[in-house]
Structure 1
Amino acid sequence: MTGDEATNGELDADESVVRRDRFSGGPARDFLSSLAADARIFAADIAVDRAHVVMLAECDVVDDATAGAILAALEEIETAGHDALPDGEDVHEAIETAVVDRVGPDGGRMHTARSRNDEVATCIRYRLREDVFDAIEATLALREVLAEIAEAHAETIMPGYTHLQPAQPTTVAQWALSYESTVARDTARLFDALGRLDASPLGAAAFAGTPFEIDRERTAELLGFSSVLSNATDAVASRDVLLETTGALSTLATTLSGFAEDLIVFANRGFVDLDDDYASTSSIMPQKKNPDTLELVRAVAGDAAASVQGLTTTLKGLPRAYNRDLQRATPHVWATVDAVTQATEVAAGAVATADWNEDSLAGAAGEGFSTATGVADLLAMAGVPFRTAHEIVAEAATAAEVDDGSIREALADAAEAHLEESLEEFVDAEALDAALDPASNVASRDSAGGPAPDAVRDQLAAVGSSIEADRETHADRVCVVESAAERRLEVVSTYV
Structure 2
Amino acid sequence: MAEKLWQGRFEQPTDKQVEEYTASIHFDSRLYRYDIEGSIAHCRMLGECNIIPHEDASLIVEALGQILREIERGQLDLSSSQEDIHMAIEQKLTQKIGDVGGKLHTARSRNDQICLDMRLYMRDVILQCRSLLLDVQKSFVDVAEQNLGVTMPGYTHMQHAQPVLLSHHMMAYYEMFHRDDERLQDCYKRTNVLPLGSAALAGTTFPIDMEWTARYLKFPRVVSNSMDAVSDRDYLIEFNAAAAILMMHISRLAEELILWSTTEFAFIEISDAFCTGSSIMPQKKNPDVPELMRGKTARVYGNLMALLTLTKALPLAYNRDLQEDKEPVFDTVDTVMSTLRLLAKLLPEIRFNAERMAKMAKEGFTLATDLADYLVRKGIPFRKAHHIVGQIVQHCIHDGKELEECSLEELKGFHKVFDSDVYPFLEMAAVVDRRTSLGGTASSRVREAITRARAEIETKERTLKS
Equivalent residues of 2:141, 2:171 under 8 A apart: yes
> Structure 1 counterpart of 2:350, which letter?
A
Q: 1:164-243 counterparts in 2 under 5 A?
A: 164-243=158-237
Equivalent residues of 1:183, 1:252 under 8 A apart: yes
Distance 1:208 1:282, change over 3 A: same
Deviation by residue 1:58-107 (Cα, 9 ceiling, x = unmatched): 11111122112212221221112176146411111111111111111111
> Structure 2 counterpart of 1:453, which letter?
S
1:378 to 366, 374, 377: 374
Task: Give unpaired runs (5+ residues) of structure 1.
Answer: 1-22, 477-496
1:465 to 451, 455, 465: 455
Counterpart secondary structure, 1:62 = coil
How many Å apart are 1:472 and its aligned residue? 2.7
Equivalent residues of 1:142, 1:344 under 8 A apart: yes
Deviation by residue 1:440-485 (Cα, 9 ceiling, x = unmatched): 2111212221111111111122222222222233223xxxxxxxxx
Alpha-carbon distance in 1 for matches of 2:307, 2:407: 59
2:306 to 303, 307, 310: 310
> Structure 2 counterpart of 1:452, which letter?
A
Alpha-carbon distance in 2 for matches of 1:399, 1:128: 61
Equivalent residues of 1:392, 1:415 under 8 A apart: no
Query: What does residue 485 of structure 1 align with?
Result: none
Deviation by residue 1:151-179 (Cα, 9 ceiling, x = unmatched): 12222111111111111111111001111
2:275 to 279, 282, 294: 279
Task: Give unpaired runs (5+ residues) of structure 2.
Answer: 1-12
TM norm structure 2:
0.92
Distance 1:405 1:71, change over 3 A: closer
Query: What does residue 5 of structure 2 align with?
Result: none
**Structure 2 residue 314 is matched with structure 1 residue 339:** no
How many Å apart are 1:354 and its aligned residue? 0.9
Equivalent residues of 1:159, 1:366 under 8 A apart: yes
2:249 to 239, 250, 255: 255
Alpha-carbon distance in 1 for matches of 2:170, 2:306: 33
Query: What does residue 356 of structure 2 align with?
Result: 360
Alpha-carbon distance in 1 for matches of 2:237, 2:37: 24
Alpha-carbon distance in 2 for matches of 1:281, 1:359: 27
Moved more, 191-200 or 227-236: 227-236
Q: 1:142-157 counterparts in 2 under 5 A?
A: 142-157=136-151
RMSD between superposed Cα atoms in Å: 1.8
Equivalent residues of 2:28, 2:326 under 8 A apart: no
Equivalent residues of 2:29, 2:84 under 8 A apart: no
Query: What does residue 37 of structure 2 align with?
Result: 47
Alpha-carbon distance in 2 for matches of 1:345, 1:434: 44
Percent identity for Structure 1 against Structure 2: 35
Moved more, 82-91 or 292-301: 82-91
Higher helix share: 1
> Structure 2 counterpart of 1:284, which letter?
I
Counterpart secondary structure, 1:450 = coil
**Structure 2 residue 62 is matched with structure 1 residue 67:** no
TM norm structure 1:
0.87
Distance 1:56 1:381, change over 3 A: same
Q: 1:55-134 counterparts in 2 under 5 A?
A: 55-81=45-71, 84-85=76-77, 87-134=81-128
How many Å apart are 1:331 and its aligned residue? 1.2
> Structure 2 counterpart of 1:423, which letter?
F
